[in-house]
């Protein structure tokens, strides 16, 4: 991830002029008329030795409900959410006005790093003390039109670029680590047999007796050029049967530690007794831990009627565990080796979904289509308004919704968005998380004061 910088502020303070200077060409229209920029625009930029992505935004201006100004502001809010740092630009000639204070208030709530920039400082800047009232320290004094002060912008951005580089290195180091894969399930469903078959050796003791495996054991496995740390675990029995048995309690604790340590978890199901209550409890536990998940339907060779069996199990899985709907379901047999050629690709696909990042612009195109197909319901006569969406993190993919009255958004609508995200961005096999960020209209208080 390279450094991403958003240029924000009220209308007509020179944001687009600064944007054009940073990208080295006139991509954004520039005119004295306020509000020329309406959509956010991004492009690669260079400033001395620093390369980064810069986003030009519309001016954040007052507007009524569903007005063009409010929709333009929502575009700016999305850019802020997508940025690592914001250049907050104000007009040094006019000084600090109420609209600047409104922008500052929003940026403080957004919690993103802010570099304050006083533009149009061709002459001596006389509003420095006034600018401190915005709460972002002393402003950089620049003139975008006359190429003044760009060295100061470079100096201000360098620490954020170094942090972005450090984050990139950490992500690269994480990507080079082995994929941590745990095999879990009820006792005697064939976990250790599957573990041995994947490794190609009798690494774990197996037998017809339930509960042979006491402790989670790990072994390194390499398949298709990918290093994998494979964990075999003790069977997870019902809590009532474990309580009071110290050894079994320790075994369960070891299994739970393996799940928390894992990136991806294979839940082994007995094909002759599929999706019993304990299977569902185990899968729900893994989803709540936020791990990628897939299901191996083991002992499939023992089924007499295999035709349509997987389809029926798929329907049962999606109905019983909608929170992991669409998770891979692989028919396997640790005795015959059936399905092992499909298991590893399914693991890698679930891991990719778990690590997936969706660009903000792509997410908001999805959101626009989703809202058009099915708008959120009204609450107490007022419709819930979702303005935009971002993805602040992955592992598992976590999406933030911004709007008003989002606390009243029904679970059914979250499921609607969840299913749409899974289908659109191929996020099968991973839990999805939502953060609801209800935003207050910054102009509401201003309007009430005028009445």
**Annotated binding residues for GTP:** 9-16, 56-60, 119-122, 185-192, 232-236, 298-301
Annotated binding residues = 9-16, 56-60, 119-122, 185-192, 232-236, 298-301
d(CA 228, CA 306): 31
How far is the CA of 336 from the CAs of 224, 333, 339, in angstroms? 21, 6, 9
Q: In terms of Cα–Cα distance, which of 307, 284, 288, 309 is closest to 298?
A: 309
Q: CA-CA distance, 149 to 144, in Å (whole number)?
A: 8
SS3 166: helix
User: What angle (nearest 5°) sits at the alpha carbon of residue 81, between those of residues 79 and 84?
Assistant: 90
Interacting residues of 200 by C-beta distance below 8 A, sequence separation 6+ = none
How far is residue 152's CA from residue 142's CA, in Å, rounded to a whole number?
8
Q: State how beta strands 385-393 and 398-404 pair.
A: antiparallel
Please name every residue paired with 409 in a beta bridge, in sequence order, or none if there are none: none
Q: What is the DSSP letter of 376?
A: P
Cβ count near 370 (within 10 Å):
20
């Amino acid at each position: 991830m390279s450094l991403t910088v958003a240029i924000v502020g009220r209308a007509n303070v020179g944001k687009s002029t600064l944007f054009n200077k940073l990208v080295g060409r006139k991509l954004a229209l520039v005119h004295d008329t306020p509000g020329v920029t309406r959509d956010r625009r991004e492009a690669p930029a260079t400033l001395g030795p620093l390369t980064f992505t810069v986003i030009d935004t519309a001016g954040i201006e007052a507007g009524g409900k569903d007005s063009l100004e409010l929709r333009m502001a929502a575009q700016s809010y999305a850019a802020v959410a997508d940025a690592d740092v914001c250049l907050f630009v104000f007009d040094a000639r006019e000084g600090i006005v109420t609209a600047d204070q409104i922008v500052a208030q929003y940026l403080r709530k957004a919690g993103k790093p802010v570099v304050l920039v006083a533009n149009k400082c061709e002459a001596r800047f006389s509003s420095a003390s006034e600018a401190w009232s915005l709460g972002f320290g002393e402003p950089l004094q620049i003139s975008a039109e006359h190429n003044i002060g760009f060295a100061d912008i470079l100096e201000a951005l360098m620490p954020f670029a170094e942090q972005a580089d450090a984050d990139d290195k950490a992500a690269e180091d994480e990507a080079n680590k082995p994929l941590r894969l745990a095999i879990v399930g009820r006792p005697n469903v064939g976990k250790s047999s599957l573990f041995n078959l994947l490794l190609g050796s009798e690494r774990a003791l197996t037998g017809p007796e339930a509960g042979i495996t006491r402790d989670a054991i790990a072994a390194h496995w390499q398949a298709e050029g990918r290093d994998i740390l494979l964990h075999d675990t003790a069977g997870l029995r019902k809590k009532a049967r474990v309580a009071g048995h110290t050894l079994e309690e320790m075994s369960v604790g070891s299994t739970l530690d393996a799940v928390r340590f894992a990136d991806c978890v294979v839940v082994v199901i007995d094909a002759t007794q599929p999706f019993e209550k304990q299977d569902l409890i185990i899968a729900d536990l893994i989803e709540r831990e936020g791990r990628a998940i897939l299901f191996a339907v083991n002992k499939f060779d023992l089924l007499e009627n295999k035709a349509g069996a997987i389809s029926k199990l798929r329907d049962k899985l999606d109905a019983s565990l909608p929170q992991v709907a669409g998770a891979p379901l692989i028919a396997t047999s640790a005795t015959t080796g059936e399905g092992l050629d499909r298991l590893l690709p399914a693991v890698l696909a679930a891991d990719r979904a778990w690590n997936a990042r969706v660009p903000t612009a792509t997410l908001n195109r999805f959101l626009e289509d989703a809202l058009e197909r099915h708008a959120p319901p009204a609450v107490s006569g007022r419709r819930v308004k979702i303005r935009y969406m971002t993805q602040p993190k992955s592992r598992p993919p976590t999406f933030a919704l911004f709007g008003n009255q989002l606390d009243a958004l029904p679970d059914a609508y979250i499921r609607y968005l969840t299913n749409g995200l899974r289908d659109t961005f191929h996020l099968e096999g991973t839990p999805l998380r939502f953060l609801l960020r209800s935003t207050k209209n910054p102009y509401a208080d201003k309007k009430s004061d005028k009445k």
